[in-house]
Structure 1
């Protein structure tokens, strides 16, 4: 029995059907031609009239795949088969014995079942440079609780792609397993030093390549080790590595107010109780890998089943006169963006530092906050919220070439958040309103008590006395509230010099 026969025997119909679909997308042809040509030859009764692979038998799917004999085709099919088989095995293990799942395996499944998983982890793993890790022959690999956390730093290359320049890996004890600078081996357009902390000088004399890192990771992940990371898909895409058993820390915590994808910095503050890094400081690859592992260990130990609430960050008034234009294709010139807004708005564009890959971002700066809000409201496009709860619209623009391009225009303040310039005034007004209401209530209760006349009916008198006592008690509580509110008012007034 050939190696391909063994793989096919061990693979289920669903996986085989997916692989056949892949061959169709790639236009691959075996000894009997493509999929439909093969069906016309193989099935005299139905032929290609029933071409949906998922509706064909395992024997038919396997027979088609066996028509591929070219070495390159076989490598491609083996890689795709390995990838689908790995993920299928992980999911099936969870379904077959959910009560026996370890906490680590539950987090793996939580990641795989997340609504954003199909979108974020749809990789071109069939490509030549991609590596698909193996889970091993036994079920022991599928049940392993060993974990390793990873983080990478990437630079923007002149061809528009991203390349890894640093990789750090730690185990569950936070012991460093890999800490390497990587030579991108192609021209770099932007080192993003303010973010990565890496410059051209740091990479002088570095011989470690992406292929070297891939080999190291294959060894580290052998035996079914679970790979941990925050927004791990970004790292795996840059590393060109597919691994089935993963935990994405941006997926495993419940977030209040919708499917917001939290940042590593926010999670560290809310879950671990400390700041990941100072504001404006560059990333530290090793710190980020350790932070991701700590988050997983905290989730395993404490559960964190409740929804995490991230407070809306105050946006300085100077930032509220801006709109962010992001996910702009690199072939769209900045001049072409001027047509998005009416001419009466004076706009200055300022590049955003963390532009990534084939997209870039700019700020549109207006005369004031009101003008920015008006410009956003006039935009044609479906309004939605970004991962941070800020309103944004998907906008289509016409280019001078006659083509169209899509991009997002986003406000700086979260939906439902008050304008920062007026928030203090509203707080002060609210405190004063509550104080005045409490004072009026106090006066009304005094008058009520003075006007209360004794009744001949003893039951009525008793009821009135009880009511008066209750009102007195409530009055005391209101007095305490007034004192506290006055303290708040005084503190706010002193703080802001009002």
Structure 2
């Protein structure tokens, strides 16, 4: 498992709070809806749909996409992982879970994150989530938008040659006059769908990033 240099900070937090509840792993046995759309566009977000942890019928692929939702800690400007989602190259959910807080939450950022106190109370232990994510992305091409932020709250790193960040891809930046484009803008301009119109869904954001990558995959990989 490739752990970032920020891991030391996390361990200091854990040691400072020995009574921290480690929680239990919870894997839902409920099946997701089998309803499908004929369109290849990503489904519109359903922010209150609870994570299903793993979608057993979905298979790991050479390329996976990841997205996280975060909450505010300390002065409210610092971020902590609250939810993480991973989808395969077909947009199928591989992993989706809320995460128990390791520090007091001062701002749930619900209007953006879609996260509520009850979600984190029923979440998984951070170290279990971190290990699971690390094992799932190891050796694979990782797609996402502004992945630096996601990896920072996961306290993980990923090889640059295996990272495909839609916020940094030059053709996508040209859409925004060379500036970093938002995932919402890319979804609107390239995929023709409305994304993040209210509370965000990390599953939908991961799916959108994956679809963007798939559309430009040949061009993207030939330029490396």
| TM-score range normalised by the length of the shorter chain | 0.5 to 0.7
Q: Deviations over 1:168-200 (max 9, x none)?
A: 000101121110010113211000010111111
Look up the match of 2:215.
Answer: 298
Look up the match of 1:238.
Answer: 153
Look up the match of 1:124.
Answer: 5
Look up the match of 2:187.
Answer: 268
Runs (5+) with no aligned partner, structure 2: 12-60
Question: TM-score, length-normalised on structure 1?
Answer: 0.31
Look up the match of 1:152.
Answer: 68
Are 1:284 and 2:201 matched, yes or no?
yes
Return the offset for 1:273: 1.8
Aligned match for 1:162, one of 79, 97, 117: 79
Q: Any conservation in 1 of the 2:71–2:81 contact (CA below 8 Å)? A: yes
Give SS of 2:8's match. coil
Return the offset for 1:301: 5.0
Q: Deviations over 1:309-358 (max 9, x none)?
A: xxxxxxxxxxxxxxxxxxxxxxxxxxxxxxxxxxxxxxxxxxxxxxxxxx
- Counterpart-to-counterpart distance in 2, 1:156 and 1:256: 31
Say what the alpha-carbon RMSD is for the aligned residues: 2.6
Q: Any conservation in 1 of the 2:65–2:86 contact (CA below 8 Å)? A: yes
Look up the match of 1:194.
Answer: 111
Q: Deviations over 1:106-144 (max 9, x none)?
A: xxxxxxxxxxxxxxxxx63573648xxxxxxxxxxxxxx
Question: TM-score, length-normalised on structure 2?
Answer: 0.67
- Counterparts of residues 284-433 of structure 1 (less than 5 Å): 284-300=201-217
Richer in helix (by share):
1
Look up the match of 1:215.
Answer: 131
Return the offset for 1:163: 1.1
Look up the match of 1:226.
Answer: 141
Look up the match of 2:42.
Answer: none
Q: Any conservation in 1 of the 2:143–2:210 contact (CA below 8 Å)? A: yes
Q: Any conservation in 1 of the 2:64–2:143 contact (CA below 8 Å)? A: yes
- Counterpart-to-counterpart distance in 1, 2:218 and 2:158: 25
Higher RCO (C-alpha 8 Å, min separation 6): 2
Which aligned runs of 4 or more in structure 1 are off by greater than 6 angstroms?
none
Aligned match for 1:205, one of 116, 122, 133: 122
Q: Any conservation in 2 of the 1:150–1:170 contact (CA below 8 Å)? A: yes
Structure showing greater Rg: 1
Q: How many residues align?
A: 167
- Pair 257,293 (structure 1): closer, same or farther in 2 beyond 3 Å: closer
Aligned match for 1:185, one of 80, 83, 102: 102
Give SS of 2:134's match. helix
Q: Any conservation in 2 of the 1:147–1:225 contact (CA below 8 Å)? A: yes
Q: Any conservation in 2 of the 1:148–1:228 contact (CA below 8 Å)? A: yes
Q: Any conservation in 1 of the 2:98–2:122 contact (CA below 8 Å)? A: no
